[in-house]
Structure 1
């Protein structure tokens, strides 16, 4: 924002210098002919004086309107930047945040007062009052943060931004119109002077040529200033668009606890904001930065992107230092293999920081040298500050959700997660008549095993059995820890024959696995007894199939353990 302010001030200075040169040129029109013929001097003097008066008036009006357009746009930018700098509704301002907000508010007030001093209108006085109210609310919020003050600050700053943004086009249009009148006056003056000089003595010809040259120089400077003003206006519109997009992004990522949605929104909007070819979002896990997601154009090859160590490559170094890195050329040569993207020339890496802790990085890459500017870095850093908070909140929420639905010892989904999936998928499938097999698994003699080897070895054995069960199942099958040494396996789409084959393979895999104790000494053997039931033939609800599978599992135990028994088969055996 400071860079933008300096740029706008420079532009206003250039305009003033150009208008000053134009006024000097008008003076030359009056003074030069006086050195020639006296009669021509009197005529040209009167003409030059009237022309100069018109030029001065039009020049002042053009300068005033151009400066007013710039000041109103700056107030709008300051107010919008203040909204982006504010924390969440329930969060106090940090010292750096308070300094940034105070600076922006102070700049908005200064620009508003300058605008009022320039135009002296009821609208400008209302803008000064609005900026003063922002200062008052900011002081109150810094002293006692409250959601109501936060909301009022955001609303007042947004209203001030909209109000002043609406003024800028009208001032700019007036400046353009007055500049057109200015140029028209110059052209008219040129024509009249040429006619007058043509009727004068031959000695005035030289003077006429000199005046014409001065006029051409003045017109060239005016055209150059016009082009400069257009470029400045375009840059202001682009920056205004970036701040509006940033405001939208902050709102989106602050209203969700989905890490996937936060990542997708961040990647998509960061690429739009900075016109990047590739964008990477990474989160710090231990000493490595894990890739969460990417957004790229069709030509980018991101298949080789993997976890990068803290301190390695451009991304790792930026994360370790906790400072943004802007590379203008030859970025590919400085990339580590884990972050390498072919053909990259420039890059911008911004760390995600919460408090004083780096939690990840946002990296933007381009195939064009010098694609990113200091202004781009400032906007992305403002975005990253809010994204970091949203990422941490979403990660914490998802970790809590995972812990609530998974067994902490084995890492398997627990009975709560099984109940959710049964309600969402298994029971509806059974009601549609689709075949589903459910198995109950129990580790044989586990109580004796615990008594002999200890509970620690028992826990290790439970973990190992859980791993073997997962690795032995088909794709799409699920295993859950039911409780104690019992597990539940759900086999969607499996007939009784298919379930028998899969579960026999599972049983054999457990029996063939070597188990060890604390000191890697062999323990065991470890075997399992399995019972299963297939619906809808044996039952049209998962609860019924679990009950029948449990009965079949006990049939396996009574029959000698280390075997698989289907409910229908055991029922027929008993009937025989």
Structure 2
């Protein structure tokens, strides 16, 4: 592969990396200076030619500097250009310093071998041929003054130097390439061993940290992080069995080095390679997916795949799956490391899932399935902090069932509980995804409305009131059917309160006002 002659934009670095090249140009420049200082002007030429050649040479040096430092050409392009320039320049130098009598032809012996060394045997001979033609053209007017034997010796030496240095260069480059290939192989094997050892140690270490995470989404994120940063897989997915064990849920994936997590995970059928892993309860490593009848096309351009089951407490909870666009990308060692990660991931996901269920039990109202008062206190505090920070409105809706005690006394507490459960469902239909519905206590509900002013909150409240009024509430056997109404109060931050206590107090007063005015109303302060 060709390399760049310049790696930095200063002459010091260039001198260190290209000593021969710089030495040749230095000799050429020194020769020009000597010629200007000591050699008389040839008959028929004016001093202008000398200064012109010197200026051309200096401009060429500056041009080479800009060309190499900014465009960073390949070495073959760079040395081809400079070698052709040298041939022309040396020929002009010979022409204007006496032709046959000029000794500047010796610069050919420096320029051509250097070019042969950099460019190779064949280009070196071609440049020697051009140099021979240029030299003969430069001395042609006085060629008879030169002994033919001297001319042949000068040209022959040029060809010998070009051929010898070119062959030497080819041999050295071939030997270097072979040696580098051996070093590359050794380095690759060493690197693979070191990488494997580091991966095993890192995965074991990361497995410990997985066990200390109790948030399900954080566990998924950590698994993706380990796979991306440690295993360096560019195409990877975390698939978990759904509750009914009829499909796999895609909880997270890495695609072209980008991480994705899904709160509403897509469902994947229990077929293909991942399906067989679940069925057989063992990992698989596919060398070429096109040769495997189980493979279902997914990743475009995929050639190899590896999948291992995630097993926790003796039961399979999902699959870790990796794909690659390379044939045979995964080794036996990769599968062992992948299995270690899958085992740790399974335990961590199971623990996080159990922890999440325990947390939900403490903040979810068992009867209605919505959040309870304990959750409401913490959530309202967080939403108030956010509203203050970003100078946004925040509203509360407090909802109370009218004459609820009468329904309980008439139809019994079991039917009353059904009313509470169905009312929660009815309210959910009327609010936005960002709104938070809470059972405040008894027959009272509260809705937290982030980024909502008083007028918008009133419209949402009216939508709830109207929907409840139109809804018919029934028991499970549909023998009892009743209509009911609700009263609502609205309070808004910061108009009706700047802290939690004041805001709850005012929304309660607004609800009391709606009750006092005749019920089935929505009131604000």
Superposed pair shares fold, TM > 0.5: yes
| Shift of residue 433, structure 1, vs aligned partner | 6.7
Aligned 1:32-181 pairs, distance under 5 A: none
Find out whether 1:268 has 2:236 as its counterpart.
no
Q: Which residue is 1:307 aligned to?
A: 267
Find out whether 1:324 has 2:283 as its counterpart.
yes
Find out whether 1:277 has 2:228 as its counterpart.
no
Distance 1:529 1:467 in 2: 17
Contact 2:287–2:328, Cα closer than 8 Å, also in 1: yes
* 1:170-226 per-position Cα deviation (integer Å, ceiling 9, x unaligned): xxxxxxxxxxxxxxxxxxxxxxxxxxxxxxxxxxxxxxxxxxxxxxxxxxxx99999
1:407 pairs, out of 354, 361, 365, with: 365
Q: Which residue is 1:297 aligned to?
A: 256
Find out whether 1:373 has 2:335 as its counterpart.
no
Structure 1 residues 496 and 329, CA gap change in structure 2 (3 angstroms): same
* 1:395-422 per-position Cα deviation (integer Å, ceiling 9, x unaligned): 2222222221221222222111111122
Contact 2:402–2:487, Cα closer than 8 Å, also in 1: yes
| Shift of residue 363, structure 1, vs aligned partner | 0.9
Structure 1 residues 551 and 224, CA gap change in structure 2 (3 angstroms): closer
Structure 1 residues 455 and 307, CA gap change in structure 2 (3 angstroms): farther
Distance 1:416 1:265 in 2: 30
Alignment size in residue pairs: 343
2:453 pairs, out of 486, 490, 495, with: 495
TM-score by length of 1: 0.54
| Shift of residue 441, structure 1, vs aligned partner | 0.4
1:467 pairs, out of 404, 407, 425, with: 425
Matched residue SS, 1:360 = strand
Distance 2:383 2:478 in 1: 42
Contact 2:430–2:463, Cα closer than 8 Å, also in 1: yes
Q: Unaligned stretches of 5+ in structure 2? A: 1-178
The structure, 1 or 2, with the larger RCO (C-alpha pairs under 8 Å, 6+ apart) is: 1
TM-score by length of 2: 0.58
Find out whether 1:528 has 2:471 as its counterpart.
no
* 1:415-460 per-position Cα deviation (integer Å, ceiling 9, x unaligned): 1111112222326736987543222101222233234444444333
2:196 pairs, out of 234, 239, 242, with: 239
Contact 2:402–2:520, Cα closer than 8 Å, also in 1: yes
Q: Which residue is 1:554 aligned to?
A: 512
Distance 2:486 2:390 in 1: 32
Q: Which residue is 1:383 aligned to?
A: 341
Larger radius of gyration: 2
| Shift of residue 497, structure 1, vs aligned partner | 2.5
| Shift of residue 291, structure 1, vs aligned partner | 1.9
Distance 2:352 2:214 in 1: 4
Matched residue SS, 1:540 = coil
Q: Which residue is 2:171 aligned to?
A: none
Structure 1 residues 342 and 456, CA gap change in structure 2 (3 angstroms): farther
Q: Which residue is 1:185 aligned to?
A: none
Find out whether 1:477 has 2:435 as its counterpart.
yes
Aligned 1:184-195 pairs, distance under 5 A: none
| Shift of residue 273, structure 1, vs aligned partner | 4.8
Contact 2:368–2:424, Cα closer than 8 Å, also in 1: yes
| Superposed CA RMSD | 3.3
| Shift of residue 376, structure 1, vs aligned partner | 0.9
Distance 2:323 2:271 in 1: 17
2:384 pairs, out of 426, 432, 439, with: 426
Q: Which residue is 2:408 aligned to?
A: 450
Find out whether 1:541 has 2:489 as its counterpart.
no
Distance 1:223 1:487 in 2: 75
Q: Which residue is 1:571 aligned to?
A: none
